[in-house]
A and B are shown apart, each in its own frame.
Chain A
Amino acid sequence: MKKLLAVLIACYALALTDLAAAADNVIRIGAIYPLSGALASTGSELKAAIELAADLINQTHPELKGVAIATGSGLAHLGGAKIEVVFADSQGKPEIGQAEAERLIDQEHVVALIGAYQSAVTKTTSRIAEQRGVPYLNPESSSPELTERGYKWFFRTTPNDETFIGNMMQFLDTLKSVPTKRIAVVYENTDFGVNTAKAVEKFAKQARREVVASIPYSAGTASVSSETQKLAASKPDVAIFASYTSDALLFVRTMREAAYAPPVFLANDAGFIDARFVSEVGPQVQGVLTRDVWANDLYTIKPVIKQLNDMFKARSGGKELNGNSARSLQGVLVLAEAIDRAGSTKPEAIRQALAAIDLSADQVVMPWAGVKFDASGQNERGQGLILQLVGSGYNTVWPERYKQRQDLPTVPFLAWKH
């Protein structure tokens, strides 16, 4: 009899502690991003976007019609539990990111991880998540290999380079006024650049285009004169760039001074959509095209885009949302949605909820068909956009149904003909 009482008391105590934990009502998510180092400027934008997402979830925002999880306060199925994002600095290094992933799991007791922007850091951090059985949501890394590792706990909301470069080819198909057969790809010699180049080789062949020059360069180099000269010498119809902000700035500068520009100047996101790039050299590089995932002018189709952009601007000191920050925001929303649907903070429950999640176009803030992960953890419903820089910001020019201004795109690129 006494034993039974003891057991009952123990169970009761256990239940109470569980309840106590739930009554704390905070669910912690770990976010690993480059908050220092060369990519810190992007990292800080992503942090701001994630903080905005957490705010959307935790506070009531009845004005946001397109974001179901934002209308309530906290996670409904978990008693209104709030999401707390614990940030960690990867310093841009895979081994530091990994150490932080471990710490977030072991010490900060996060129920899931998001990160890490850079593919190399995503690899090492998601490895830890896979080893420990913790769900990992990757909102921004585009390297196709990340979903080719056979991981069970890794989920990626962003489309990868295969989709993006495919989108680029489809866009090029729509350009009738200029030839688009000869493609040159200029890319930084890192995971990001190499994957872009590989995808370009693959899809150019399929689209019956020819890669006339493949020009890798060292990121953060002091001079890109040789690369520019090589590009000019290969006389491409289209030049595709995979560069982060610093090199993007340098290339623009160098090409202007060399008075050279490819007829179709197409960037693969990254540095070319950086707020600083747009504000600092925007006027000089009007007409540049870029693949992106987000465009602020799409608010006529999706009003929530403008609402979110305004909220973000208020937080980030005037910077606009771009493909990077918007994806991070979307990632947190998807993760929170999954945790909510799981109704539990147990890793396996969250994982199953993620695997089963099925969001349609009007349930996501991105201009995608929705979110549904395939067997390898890749979201099948994402897609890219092609934007053109006109005036002070980027305008959507592809897919055609999203185009706001019918006079765009203007090709060839003539910003600095002498």
Chain B
Amino acid sequence: MKEAARPAIVRSRGARVVAVVVLALAAFPFAVADPFYRQIVVMTLMYGALGAAWNLVGGFLGRVSFGHAVFLGLGAYTTLLLLHKLGLSPWLGIPAGGLIAAVSAFVVGRPTLRLTGHYFAMATIAVLAVAHVLMVNWSWAGGAVGLEAPIANSVWLLLFRSRAPYYWIAAVLALLTLWATYTLARSRAGYYWRAINGDEAAARSLGVPAERYKMLAFVMSAALTGIWGGFYAIYVGFVDPDSAFSLTLSIQIVLVAILGGVGTITGPWLGAALLVPLAEGMRVAMGGSGKGFDLLLYGLAIVLVSLFLPRGLIALRLRRGAAPG
């Protein structure tokens, strides 16, 4: 509804914005030498991308998933397992992670996508929880102890001693994610998704092959999330069930998307751009004292933003711009 009606001039403005962002991303590491800020940008890109991927299911399709971390975990574990057991480079491992995530989405999607609203949300949590327990008890895959990536400095292994290369990898993956979500949203799939989101029964009666397209959203979302899971694995260099299959992480992804503006292309990126630096900043400023003020302020910030910007950060742009609400 929103995107299709936009006039051509706005579309090219969007393209210009993207170009500016790309230039900024490219110039940033040369302008700002401090690795800490670079790390924040990497995290922002990651969460933005995860939010954008989630958005395919949560925003466009309208099904809130609280279990998306399961795809991240699958991607991360696949990448590290392939590296450990088969010596396979993450160049292949990361896409493999995306693939495994997509396949599992296909398997899991069958029974869950029939569910509506709150039931779907809870079912995704259930899937995540089951996966978590399975990974904890699967000692071949590391079990509770987890898996560590070896320390290396090789392009072949995509493992580096310095953080700088990861910035570029993240930037490329982020652009890839943006391109993927943009294309999907504007394609027929996106059109069908919005129809299904509006009124599934009506859409079906109009001939929308709902089942197929719901599954497509789920699978694509999972694939993208899985790829980022692979990135997480090589970036942090360590996965264990608690960090990779984490409900908290799932919720963070949802928060980022909601805060930015559900169902929009740029929303999740904006949400990440606010939430990630906010969390990091608070922690750095106050976390070391151990008094708990940093998280308190973070929580307050979330509450206040949701009260004053109920449509998300994207509402700020919409208000100023000419687009219809």
- What is the interface of chain A, defined by CB distance below 8 A to chain B? 35-36, 40, 43-44, 47, 86-89, 91, 93-96, 98-100, 102-103, 106-107, 119-120, 123-124, 127, 130-132, 143, 145, 149, 151, 189-191, 193-195, 216, 218
Contacts and interface: CB of A to CB of B under 8 A. Distances in A.
Chain B binding surface, main DSSP class: helix
B151 A194 contact: no
A27 B145 CA distance: 34
Nearest to B133: A218
17 contacts: A35-B289, A87-B288, A100-B287, A102-B163, A107-B34, A123-B148, A124-B237, A127-B148, A189-B136, A189-B137, A190-B144, A191-B144, A191-B146, A191-B240, A194-B143, A216-B144, A218-B133
Interface string B266-298: 000000000000001001100111101011000
A36 B282 CA distance: 13
A295 to B, nearest CB: 27
Nearest to A151: B151
A99 B243 CA distance: 14
B200 interface: no
Contact of A89 (B39, B238, B283): B283
B36 to A, nearest CB: 5
A102 B162 CA distance: 11
B236 interface: yes
Interface in B131-166: 133, 136-137, 143-146, 148, 151, 161-163
Given A47-B290, A103-B36, A127 B237 contact: yes
Contacts of B238: 94, 98, 120, 123-124, 127
A127 B242 contact: no
Given A120-B238, A124-B238, A131 B161 contact: yes
Given A106-B34, A130-B151, A191-B146, A86 B288 contact: yes
A120 B288 contact: no
Contact of A102 (B35, B137, B288, B294): B35
A44 B290 contact: yes
A95 B236 contact: yes
Contacts of A91: 283, 287
A87 B144 contact: no
A145 B243 contact: no
A273 B162 CA distance: 40
Given A94-B243, A194-B145, A35 B287 contact: yes
Given A35-B290, A103-B36, 5 more contacts: A43-B290, A89-B288, A94-B240, A106-B34, A124-B236
Q: Which of A96, A130, A195 has the most CB of B within 10 A?
A: A96
Contacts of A95: 232, 236, 243
Contacts of A88: 287-288
Chain B interface size, as a band, is 20 to 34
B165 to A, nearest CB: 12
Nearest to A32: B288
Contacts of A103: 36, 39, 284
Given A35-B288, A86-B288, A99 B280 contact: yes
Nearest to A132: B161
The 6 closest A-B pairs by CB, nearest first: A35-B290, A89-B287, A87-B288, A131-B161, A106-B35, A194-B144
Contacts of B146: 120, 123, 191
Given A94-B243, A106-B35, A40 B290 contact: yes
Given A89-B283, A106-B36, A190 B243 contact: no
Nearest to A85: B288
A102 B287 contact: no
Nearest to A40: B290
A43 B294 CA distance: 16
A185 to B, nearest CB: 14
B289 A87 contact: yes
Contacts of A127: 148, 151, 237-238
B290 A195 contact: no
A164 B280 CA distance: 38
A132 B240 CA distance: 23
Interface string B42-79: 01000000000000000000000000000000000000
A96 to B, nearest CB: 8
A229 B105 CA distance: 38
Contacts of A189: 136-137, 144
Q: Which of A99, A132, A151, A195 has the most CB of B within 10 A?
A: A99
B236 A98 contact: yes
Contacts of A106: 34-36
Q: Which of B148, B161, B283 has the most CB of A within 10 A?
A: B283
Contacts of B162: 131
A135 B294 CA distance: 29
Interface in B185-233: 232
Contacts of A47: 290
A301 to B, nearest CB: 33
Nearest to A31: B288
A36 B289 CA distance: 10
Contacts of A102: 35-36, 39, 163
Nearest to A187: B144
A151 B162 CA distance: 17
Nearest to B248: A93
B77 to A, nearest CB: 14
